[in-house]
Amino acid sequence: MYRYPTILSLAVALALSLTFSATGVAAELVKAKDGSGVIGYKDTPILPWCGYCVHDPDRPAPKKVTPGKPSTEEKLGAAQRK
């Protein structure tokens, strides 16, 4: 009868200790140097093809692409009739 509360209290104590110890290991968020407001991590592995960290806030963003209009807009369905 006394065994279950003891096991339960030990399990709760273990869970709490693991939770609080994991928060001390968490990585620190950093802001980008250019002032853009982008946040990321600097303590992640470096990507070999670009030399930046995985979540590096200073990594350049790709160019913005705007899609063009379809080339057969005025002849819609013309390709299907042939």
Which is nearest to 61 in space by CA: 30, 27, 37, 28? 37
Give the model confidence (pLDDT) of 3-47 as tens digits: 556 666 767 766 666 655 545 556 788 888 888 888 898 888 999
Q: Is the pTM of this model over 0.85?
A: no
Query: Residue 79: inside a domain, yes or no?
Result: no
Backbone phi, then psi, for 31, in 5-degree steps? -95, 155
Asked if residue 71 is part of any domain, the answer here is no
Please, are residues 33 and 58 in contact by the beta-carbon 8 Å criterion? Answer: yes
- How far is residue 17's CA from residue 26's CA, in Å, rounded to a whole number? 15
Residue 19 lies in a domain: yes
Angle at the Cα of 79 from the Cα atoms of 73 and 82, rounded to 5 degrees: 150
Residues spanned by the domain of 42: 3-63
- When divided into structural domains, the chain yields a total of 1
In this structure, the chain runs to a length of 82
pLDDT tens column, 48-69: 998 999 999 998 888 999 987 7
* pLDDT of res. 37: 83
Give the pLDDT confidence score for residue 81 in this predicted structure.
54
